[in-house]
Amino acid sequence: MRVVHYLNQFFAGIGGEDRADTPPTSRRGPVGPGLALRQALGADAEVVGTVICGDGLFADRSDDTVPEVVRLIEGFEPDVVVAGPAFNAGRYGLACGRVCQEVAARLGQPAVAAMYPENAAVEVFRGEVIIVPSSATAVGMKEAIHALARLALKLGRGGALGPAAEEGYLPRGPRMNTRGDRSASARALDMLLARRAGAPFTTEVPLPQYDRVVPPAPVTHLSRMRLAVVTECGLVPPGNPDRLEWVRASKWLKYSLEGKDDLGPGEYEVVHSGYDAAFALQDPDRLVPLDALRELVRRRELGSLLDAYYVTCGNHGVLSQMAQHAREIAADLRRQHVDTVLLVAT
C-alpha cells in the first residue's frame, strides 16, 4: 500500500516560524514523524513520499497553494494520505484538514488526519474528514502515529469504517441506523436505572457541552480604574498586515492607540464579514470608542486608558478557540495592570 504523508515546515525539520513561508515541496520516503509512521504501518504499507508546506503560506494563500500540494501528492500515486499529527496548532490543523478534504475531492483517495479535539480545524472539517484525536502537544506523538497508521491501513484497503466510538476517530455528525435487540424505551430505561444507581452508561445521543459563564462583579470607582478595549469586530490597520482571518479566527492581535485621540476614516479596515462595516469605516470610533474614552479620562470620570486595543474576529468563531483567546488576552491584560475591560461587540 502506498502512503503519502503531509507535514508542515516545523515537523519536516526545515524551521520554525521563520520558515512558515516555505512553498510546497516534496521528498521521497518518510521525513520526521513519517519515520515512526513507517514503523507503525509495518510490512503492509510504505511511506512513498512526503509533501511539505509552510503553515503561514498555506494559511495566507490556501486557494493558491492547495492545487500545488495536491499535484505533488498525486505524483506519488497514493492509496491513502496521512496528514499530521497537527496537535493543537491551529494553522497546521487547518492545512491538514484542507489537504485531506481536497485529496478526497480531487483525487478520489481516502485520507486521515490527527489533531487535538479542541483544535479550531476540528469544527471546520470534522463533517468531511476522518480525524484521529491526539494530545495537545507532541508529547502524544507515538499514540497519534499508531492511531493514524491503523486507520490508514483500513482506509487504504477500501474497508468501511464503523462508528467513531469503535474505530477511534472523532464523531463527524451523521447518525447511522442499526438494528438493535431491544427497543428504544427499554434501552432508555436501562440508562435511567444505571444513572440512578451511579453505574456507568453511555448515552446514544451525546449533547454539546457549553461553559456556564458567571457574570463579573459590577465595576466600582471607575475614576480610579485603568481600562482596556477588547473587541471581536475585526478592526485592523490597512492591508491587514498580521493576516487576521475573516472567519474562524485562529489569533488575536493588539494594536497601539498611543498618541491618538480618535480613529479617523481611512486609518483602518474591517476584515469581519458578518456585518455591514460601512458606518464603521466612516468612523472607526464606532467600533473602538477612543474619542469618548479619552474624553472620560479628561473629565476624570475614568482613571486611565491602556494605549492599545485587543482585537480578533468573532465570525463563526470556534468556542474552544475563543476561550483560548480569552485566556491569553486576560493574561496580557494582567501584565499591563488593567483593572477593567470594555468589550465592544458587533
C-alpha 117/C-alpha 318 separation (Å) is 12
Question: Is 147 in the same domain as 284?
Answer: no
Instruction: Please say if the pLDDT value at position 109 is more than 80.
Output: yes
Instruction: Indicate the range of 72-86, 157-171, 220-234, 259-273 predicted with least confidence.
Output: 157-171
Same domain, 257 and 144: no
Q: Are 40 and 152 in contact (CB under 8 A)?
A: no
Return the C-alpha torsion angle 317, 321, 324, 329, nearest 10: -40
Q: Which residues of 100-113 are buried (b: 16+ CB within 10 A; e: fewer)?
A: bbbbbeebebbbbb
| The last residue of a domain, from among 167, 186, 201 | 167
Q: How far apart are CA 81 and CA 8, in angstroms?
A: 14
Question: Does one domain contain both 33 and 149?
Answer: yes
Instruction: Identify the three-state secondary structure at position 289.
Output: coil
Q: Tell me the average pLDDT of the chain.
A: 92
pLDDT band per the 50, 70, 90 thresholds, residue 73: very high
**What pLDDT, on a 0 to 100 scale, did the predictor assign at position 175?**
73
Instruction: Output the pLDDT for position 211.
Output: 74
Classify residue 189: in a domain, yes or no.
Answer: no
Q: Give every CB contact of residue 176 below 8 A, 6+ residues apart in sequence.
A: 163
pLDDT over threshold 80, residue 144? yes
98 and 20 housed in the same domain: yes
Q: Are residues 83 and 161 in the same domain?
A: yes
* Sequence-ordered list of residues with C-beta below 8 angstroms from that of 17, at least 6 positions apart, any chain: 56
Contact assessment for residue 93 and residue 119, using Cβ atoms and an 8 Å cutoff: yes
Whether 10 and 131 map to the same domain: the answer is yes
Residue 153 and residue 230 in one domain: no
Judge whether residue 332 has pLDDT over 80: yes
Residue 318 belongs to domain spanning: 222-344
Q: What is the mean predicted confidence (pLDDT) over 103-116?
A: 96
Report the pLDDT value the prediction gives residue 34, as an integer from 0 to 100: 96
13 and 162 part of one domain:
yes
Quick one: average pLDDT of 121-140?
A: 92
pLDDT per residue over 179-191, tens digit each?
A: 888 999 999 999 9
Residue 79's pLDDT band, with cuts at 50, 70 and 90, is very high
What is the total count of domains within the chain? 2
Q: Is residue 181 part of a domain?
A: no
Report the sign of the C-alpha dihedral through residues 148, 154, 156, 161, in that order. Answer: negative
pLDDT at 120: 82
Provide the pLDDT for residue 317.
80
pLDDT surpasses 90 at 36: yes
Label residues 171-209 b or e (16+ Cβ within 10 Å = b). Answer: eeeeeeeeeeeeeeeeeeeeeeeeeeeeeeeeeeeeeee
Please tell me the predicted confidence (pLDDT) of residue 316: 78
Q: What is the pLDDT of residues 277-311, one digit of tens each?
A: 899 999 999 999 999 999 999 999 999 999 999 99
- Say if 122 falls within a structural domain: yes
**pLDDT value for 263:** 94
Q: What per-residue confidence (pLDDT) applies to 318? A: 76
Does 260 map to a domain?
Answer: yes
pTM (2 d.p.): 0.62
Q: Indicate the SS3 state at residue 113.
A: strand
179 falls within a domain: no
Residue 320 pLDDT > 80:
no
Across residues 129-144, what is the average pLDDT? 94
Q: Say if residue 127 is in the same domain as residue 9.
A: yes
Whether 177 maps to a domain, the answer reads no
Q: Tell me the percentage of the chain whose pLDDT exceeds 70.
A: 100
Q: Is residue 121 part of a domain?
A: yes
Instruction: Kindly state the average pLDDT of the residues 188-206.
Output: 90
- Same domain, yes or no, for 163 and 229? no
Give the model's confidence band at 273: pLDDT under 50 very low, under 70 low, under 90 confident, else very high.
confident
**Cβ(132)–Cβ(144) below 8 Å:** yes
Q: How far apart are CA 200 and CA 220, in angstroms?
A: 47
- Same structural domain for residues 19 and 163? yes
* pLDDT value at residue 345: 80
Please identify, among 134, 167, 200, the residue that sits at the C-terminal boundary of a domain: 167
In a domain, 148, yes or no: yes
* Domain final position from 167, 200, 235: 167
Same domain, 127 and 226: no
